[in-house]
Chains A and B, each alone.
Chain A
Amino acid sequence: MNRQEILQGLHERFPEDITNVFEKSAKRVYIEIKAGVIVQMAQYLFKEIGARFNIASGVDNRDNMEILYHFTEETIDLVISLRVTLQKTKLEIDSLTPVFPAAQWIEQEIHELLGINFIGHPQLKRLLLPEDWPEGVHPLRKDYKEWDPNAIRDRGV
């Protein structure tokens, strides 16, 4: 499938849910979508087109949060990034882990580092942070402050 066919297929299947398409270059496409369709869209890209899930990047924009789900279609050298914006009042989104297990760890990581809740994740436990790290402190947020003044780990040294 070539680039135009993929984009057209996405538009046909999800006519209401794509808010913006930004074709950055020949190898990169950023698609802004509504948070509700992430599972269906990821399923379409992963299962039907056969794109590989690279990773998800959570971004704190101070007034809202973003998750970018990066997919690579290797046969045509194209990285498709699905962009979802979440309001800080409602930081939750459906989990992709039931669709493919590759999403499990990154969702755990985003959950602990940015505090986004993934609905339907089978095991939303800690991945990287230590057990004595307090609940509700998310180090990758922009408003993060050290919770322990004696700790070396969060000084960035």
Chain B
Amino acid sequence: MPRTIIPIGPYHPLQEEPEFFILTVEGETVVDIDLRMGYNHRGIEKLCERQAYDQVTFVVERVCGICSTSHPFAYTQAVEDILSVEAPPRARYIRTITAEGERIHSHLLWLGLAGHFLGYNTIFMWCWKLREEILDVMEILSGNRNNYAMFKVGGVWRDIKAEDIPTVLKKIDSIIPTLEKLKKAVMDDPVLHARTKGIGILSKEAAINYCALGPTARASGIARDIRKNCPYGAYAEIDWEMIVAQNGDVFDKVVVRINELFESIKIIKACLTRLPQGEIDCGIEDIPPGEGIGHIEAPRGECFHYVRSDGTNRPVRHKIRAPTFMNLPTFKETVIGGSIPDAAIILAAIDPCYCCTERMAVLNRKGEKLFTGEDLIKLSQEKTEKIKSKMGRK
């Protein structure tokens, strides 16, 4: 049978992100797949080498709009690892609440999009309506619907007010019945079963060899969750369960994510009711020479940051590894042998995030720039000097 190449991209018509899949097909069957990416590569790691430690938190927050908590969380863990300090308990709880809120909105976003990819727009509308509630909760807690700007090295910037807690708890409780209904509708839907069951199976062995992460690995029967395996934040002090499914197909990835929504709600509620009193910042001033690793469980899997300091006010090396970087190569296992319409949902099932993978950050409107790199360095140096002189230090 003759082979045909079907290009999808560079602007993906469904996922609305810049990536270029090259599907080689024989009739309806995909026999080979290749990927061209890098359309969003902006060199964040290089950019971080030019920023002061506090500024890097905001830069990495803009690696990705959806995981805007995961990157600063991993980064602050890495810098705290250089110093061998831990954030105060109240700050750890606030961080956990922010991270779980992000997980809920990210999973709902993905679930809605998955429905949309399958041509099932009812799920899309439903999920995104539910997601609004969570974004409202995040606005109450952090002041922002996205890019929460909560994290700082050694703690958090913003405390949670005691009078907000009842409102937030009420709002979270209010979405549980709808979520239950949604879960039942998705799990029992014959259309979804037909389109997702037994499709794009990632075997346990392949998931181990590709070092798959997050829900992608957990759907293939690997009990891998950084929150349980390598506890950080408040996860060790709170009772919750890791969701693992066995089949590795698209349906199990849906099941894992839906069940995780309920666990996340449980964690947020427990954190809010048991929020300890005390400081929210341990007052880190200078970073000594050394190196540190921070890894946390982002909605898509483990987010890994490596930071090396030489004693100055900015990192000499900052390596960022987003979960999609490890999850995306599994398409070689899952897509080949399937049909073309299945490829769309299989490629979406790992919840890919290209801006994370390529670490793009700042939008550039037709070449207009507010600052050049040198200006930013100058600003950063001036600000450091200003702060240091304000604190009476040289």
A and B form one complex: yes
Residue in A closest to B47 when the chains form the complex, CB atoms:
A156
Across-interface contacts of A156 in B (CB, < 8 A):
43, 46-47, 50, 373, 376
Q: Is B321 located at the chain interface by the 8 A CB criterion?
A: yes
Assess the B321–A54 pair: CB atoms within 8 A. yes
Given A105-B329, A157-B372, A157-B373, A129 and B42 contact (CB-CB distance below 8 Å):
no
Across-interface contacts of B317 in A (CB, < 8 A):
57, 59-60
Assess the A102–B229 pair: CB atoms within 8 A. no
Tally of chain A residues near chain B (CB < 8 A): 41
CA distance A25 to B208 in the complex (A): 27
Given A59-B317, A74-B230, A157-B362, A105 and B325 contact (CB-CB distance below 8 Å):
yes
Across-interface contacts of A105 in B (CB, < 8 A):
325, 328-329
Assess the A54–B210 pair: CB atoms within 8 A. no
Interface of B is mostly: mixed
Assess the A155–B211 pair: CB atoms within 8 A. no
Given A25-B81, A157-B371, A102 and B211 contact (CB-CB distance below 8 Å):
yes
CA distance A54 to B319 in the complex (A): 12
Across-interface contacts of A53 in B (CB, < 8 A):
211
Assess the A153–B224 pair: CB atoms within 8 A. no
- Identify which of residues 57-101 in chain A touch chain B, using a CB-to-CB cut-off of 8 Å: 57-60, 68, 70, 72, 74-75, 77, 79, 81, 100-101
CA distance A140 to B332 in the complex (A): 29
Across-interface contacts of B231 in A (CB, < 8 A):
77
Q: Is B306 located at the chain interface by the 8 A CB criterion?
A: yes
Across-interface contacts of A77 in B (CB, < 8 A):
229-231
CA distance A72 to B225 in the complex (A): 12
**Shortest distance in angstroms between B92's beta carbon and chain A's nearest beta carbon?**
16
Q: Is A41 located at the chain interface by the 8 A CB criterion?
A: no
Assess the B293–A128 pair: CB atoms within 8 A. no
> Among A106, A130, A152, A155, which residue has the most Cβ atoms of chain B within 10 A?
A155
Q: Is B105 located at the chain interface by the 8 A CB criterion?
A: no
Q: Is B100 located at the chain interface by the 8 A CB criterion?
A: no
Mask, A126-154, CB within 8 Å of B = 1, is: 11111000000001100010000000111
Across-interface contacts of B358 in A (CB, < 8 A):
128
Q: Is A52 located at the chain interface by the 8 A CB criterion?
A: yes
Assess the A81–B367 pair: CB atoms within 8 A. no
Across-interface contacts of A104 in B (CB, < 8 A):
329
Tally of chain B residues near chain A (CB < 8 A): 46
Could you say which of A59, A102, A127, A129 contacts B209, with CB atoms under 8 Å apart?
A102
CA distance A81 to B45 in the complex (A): 20
**Shortest distance in angstroms between B41's beta carbon and chain A's nearest beta carbon?**
4
Across-interface contacts of B328 in A (CB, < 8 A):
105
Residue in B closest to A60 when the chains form the complex, CB atoms:
B317
CA distance A97 to B200 in the complex (A): 23
Assess the B41–A74 pair: CB atoms within 8 A. no
Could you say which of A24, A55, A102, A130 contacts B304, with CB atoms under 8 Å apart?
A55
Q: Is A28 located at the chain interface by the 8 A CB criterion?
A: yes
- Identify which of residues 341-381 in chain B touch chain A, using a CB-to-CB cut-off of 8 Å: 358, 362, 364, 367, 369-373, 376
Q: Is B84 located at the chain interface by the 8 A CB criterion?
A: yes
Q: Is A13 located at the chain interface by the 8 A CB criterion?
A: no
Across-interface contacts of A60 in B (CB, < 8 A):
317
Assess the B369–A155 pair: CB atoms within 8 A. yes
Assess the A129–B230 pair: CB atoms within 8 A. no
Residue in B closest to A154 when the chains form the complex, CB atoms:
B43
CA distance A72 to B306 in the complex (A): 13
Across-interface contacts of B47 in A (CB, < 8 A):
156
Could you say which of B210, B229, B372 contacts A155, with CB atoms under 8 Å apart?
B372
Q: Is B38 located at the chain interface by the 8 A CB criterion?
A: yes
CA distance A130 to B358 in the complex (A): 12
Given A57-B306, A140-B45, A127 and B362 contact (CB-CB distance below 8 Å):
no
**Shortest distance in angstroms between B107's beta carbon and chain A's nearest beta carbon?**
22
Assess the B229–A152 pair: CB atoms within 8 A. no
Residue in B closest to A104 when the chains form the complex, CB atoms:
B329
Q: Is B295 located at the chain interface by the 8 A CB criterion?
A: yes
Given A53-B211, A102-B326, A157-B371, A140 and B46 contact (CB-CB distance below 8 Å):
yes
Could you say which of B45, B321, B369 contacts A157, with CB atoms under 8 Å apart?
B369
**Shortest distance in angstroms between B362's beta carbon and chain A's nearest beta carbon?**
6
Binding site for B on A (CB under 8 A): 24-25, 27-28, 30, 52-55, 57-60, 68, 70, 72, 74-75, 77, 79, 81, 100-102, 104-106, 126-130, 139-140, 144, 152-157
Give 20 CB contacts A-B under 8 Å. A30-B291, A52-B208, A54-B211, A54-B302, A55-B326, A57-B317, A59-B316, A72-B230, A72-B295, A77-B230, A102-B326, A102-B329, A105-B325, A128-B38, A139-B46, A152-B369, A153-B42, A155-B372, A156-B47, A157-B362
18 additional contacts (CB under 8 A) given A59-B317, A77-B229: A52-B211, A54-B302, A54-B304, A55-B326, A57-B306, A59-B316, A70-B304, A77-B230, A100-B209, A100-B211, A101-B332, A102-B329, A130-B38, A156-B50, A156-B373, A157-B369, A157-B370, A157-B376
| Cβ-closest 7 pairs across A and B | A102-B211, A57-B319, A156-B373, A128-B38, A74-B229, A55-B321, A128-B41
